[in-house]
Amino acid sequence: MTSTADHIENAFDLSYLDFAKYPKTQIKTIGILGGGTAGYLTALALKKLHPGIKTSVVESSKIPVIGVGESTTTEIVPFLHRTLGIDPQTFFQEVQPTLKLGIRFDWGCPGDYHFNFNFFAGHQQESYYYEDSINNANWASVLMDAKKIPVIREKDGSLTSLLQSIPFSYHIDNKNLIRFLNKTVKQRGIEILDAEVVKVNLDDKEFVSSLETDDGQKLSFDLYIDCSGFRSKILGQALKTEFIPFSSTLINNRALTFDTANHGVIAPYTACSTMNNGWCWTIPMREENHHGYVHSTLYCDEATALAEVCAKFGPIEKYKMVEFRSGRHKQAWNKNVFAIGNAYAFVEPLESTAIQTAVHSIMTLCKLMPANFQDTTSIAAINQEIAVTWDTFRWFLGIHYKFNKHLDTPYWKWCNENTNIGDAQMIVDLFQQRPPLSASNLGTNSPYTALEALVFNSYSYDTLLYGQKVLSTPPAKPKMTKEEYLSRTFSYQELTKKALTVKELFEQNHLEEEGLLEQLFEDQDTWIVETEA
């Protein structure tokens, strides 16, 4: 006889949640054109999430890989270590990353002003109201200003890590990352063909039928993934997929890249400094800092850019100029071709989105993999999801230019007056009416709820708009009293005094020897959970 308990169990059966995250497909073979970060990450994800598909990477050792994504966002950490199953200890030993709590923007207001954009929520409304700044809004921001990380040294010398509670990302040397990923791809049995593709053959329906290489091979696959970078050899060149420029929002088109010594000071953030004709990134590695002056040829020639860099950072022994364009193709998936990374789209390095967008495209493909090439609904959904994501990046980056009043050079005057921020204008207007956006989002009937579906959520917009002081009216008084607020900031400062620097963490090998790395990934409440599309 069936008991009440049995009936209750049946009534609350959750087996409807037990469905395949990664749908089956009739696609049997995939050829990825191009290695590098995008190509290798794609290959590893397909091997893990769609093991029934035979995936091959076609790359040429003759073609250098240009890496512009050495600063990352938090998505990379769970993607590498949860989704792809890459061992954290091996990764830290071979790639030698440093930790990034966020971005320091020398930006927004004239003079000696900056604001911190970190990955941890906090009391921005209170910080802005009581101090006219958001830099004491949370402990992560205070740590950034002190160049410390959330690992505490107690009086007895023991360490208490809170890395599992405060999200971070990586600063990565691109050469180390590519070398490591190449090794991992080979270890996992994914075929790498070293050959240069000289011709893309199309059939009578304009589907790709084969790739011809310089050594006489003719390679055929069901699906071709274009990771050929800015060349966009298949999606752009062969299929002539329409390109949509973002030039009314993002006018920069090149970066002067160079390195400087860090003299043992490793900041836990990427710095973005306003320059006369653009901005300069500083990415701290373990031995040196990597820089890039992102600017527009409409306002700055090479000699001017170099002179400005030398005036700020001192004499530069060598540098490289990287050309790019901001925009996206109309479709990421066209015929039997899917493009990832720079082969599909690019927005300049501000906000460090290069690897983030690649990860998003990879996960979108894996989760919406069409059953076949007649599955136009899945293909349309992939294109829509990825296009909206990139357009969101465009408008979000546009806000940085529209409201940065740090300098009033001709370049920045143009940006202030002419930058098209598209759909983000509605968000700016909402912020002006009822800031902060994140607080208003707490109610289910809030008009702000939709913001949480965007790549950059309401808290991200709050940070950017408070940080640039876009608010046109006096801020509303918060519920938290000044005494309560100061009590919190005092705790931030006291904890920071005991915190380690990035150099101390890595130089003394605390992550491994003290078990901090193991704790970080095994803690029940860690923020590092498996990547979702």
How do the domains of the chain map onto residue ranges? Answer: 29-70+173-244+330-391
Looking at residue 201, the DSSP 8-state letter turns out to be E
User: What is residue 301's three-state secondary structure?
Assistant: coil
Distances in Å between the Cα of 157 and the Cα atoms of 89, 152, 500, 513 are 23, 9, 12, 14
Q: With contact defined as beta carbons under 8 Å apart, do 406 and 106 qualify?
A: yes
Residues 69 and 349: their CA atoms lie apart, in Å, by 7
Strand partners, 350: none
User: What is residue 170's three-state secondary structure?
Assistant: strand
pLDDT for 509: 81
pLDDT for 33: 98
Q: With contact defined as beta carbons under 8 Å apart, do 166 and 140 qualify?
A: yes
Residues 210 and 234: their CA atoms lie apart, in Å, by 11
User: What is residue 377's three-state secondary structure?
Assistant: helix
For the domain spanning 29-70+173-244+330-391, the CATH number is 3.50.50.60
- Written as tens digits, the pLDDT of the chain (533 aa) is 678 888 888 888 887 777 778 999 999 999 999 999 999 999 999 999 999 999 999 999 887 766 544 889 999 999 999 999 999 999 999 999 999 999 999 999 999 999 999 999 899 999 999 999 999 999 999 999 999 999 999 999 899 999 999 999 999 999 999 999 999 999 999 999 999 999 999 999 999 999 999 999 999 999 999 999 999 999 999 999 999 999 999 999 999 999 999 999 999 999 999 999 999 999 999 999 999 999 999 999 999 999 999 999 999 989 999 999 999 999 999 999 999 999 999 998 888 888 899 999 999 999 999 999 999 999 999 999 999 999 999 999 999 999 999 999 999 999 999 999 999 999 999 999 989 998 765 444 444 455 555 568 899 999 999 999 999 888 989 999 999 999 999 999 999 999 999 999 998 888 877 889 999 999 999 999 876 54
pLDDT for 111: 96
Q: With contact defined as beta carbons under 8 Å apart, do 193 and 3 qualify?
A: no
Residues 294 and 280: their CA atoms lie apart, in Å, by 6
Paired tokens of 3: 């008991």
Paired tokens of 324: 């790019």
pLDDT for 283: 96
Distances in Å between the Cα of 272 and the Cα atoms of 41, 204, 392, 508 are 27, 49, 20, 29
Cis peptide before 436 (omega within 30 of 0): yes
| CA-closest candidate to residue 149, choices 113, 112, 128, 119 | 119
Contacts of 506-514 with C-beta under 8 Å, sequence gap 24+, read 506/98, 506/266, 506/286, 510/151, 510/159, 511/92, 512/89, 512/92, 514/159, 514/161
User: What is residue 155's three-state secondary structure?
Assistant: coil
Strand partners, 275: 278
Strand partners, 246: none
Contacts of 165 (CB under 8 A, 6+ apart): 150, 525, 526, 527
DSSP 383-439: HHHHHHHHHHHHHHHHHHHHT--S--SHHHHHHHHH---TTHHHHHHHHHHSS-HHH
Residues 454 and 393: their CA atoms lie apart, in Å, by 9
Compute CA 368 distance to the chain's CA centroid, rounded to the nearest angstrom: 21
Residues 211 and 4: their CA atoms lie apart, in Å, by 64
The helix (run of H) or strand (run of E) holding residue 333 is: strand 333-334
